[in-house]
Amino acid sequence: MRDDSDDGVRVWLVERTYSDDEQNLIILTYATPDGQRYFRKERALTSFTDVRDTTAAVDADPGNLGSVDEEDLQEQYAAEAQRMRNAHDPDDVI
């Protein structure tokens, strides 16, 4: 399974949190299988009828990836990305 393609770098969902600063904002964090890079997606929950699927993986532009500098967080992201990669197809809705 390739993690880099012409469309970007494949990253896997590793964390879904709710923002403390903003109401109705979900932060989705995706990471590379090695846990060294991450991609954040912020989503406003405007209504219950607003359907936007969250998939197990997305292809992110390499320029939009951040570095994970903390070793513990890197290990956590790597473990979760690998778990998601092993359990789901990239387009599976989570």
- Domain spans of the chain? 4-87
- pLDDT-derived band at 23 (thresholds 50, 70, 90) equals confident
Which DSSP category does 73 fall into?
H
How many Å apart are CA 10 and CA 56, to the nearest integer?
A: 10
Looking at the predicted structure, is the pLDDT value of residue 57 above 60? yes
How many Å apart are CA 69 and CA 58, to the nearest integer?
A: 22
How many Å apart are CA 54 and CA 27, to the nearest integer?
A: 11
- Confidence (pTM): 0.84
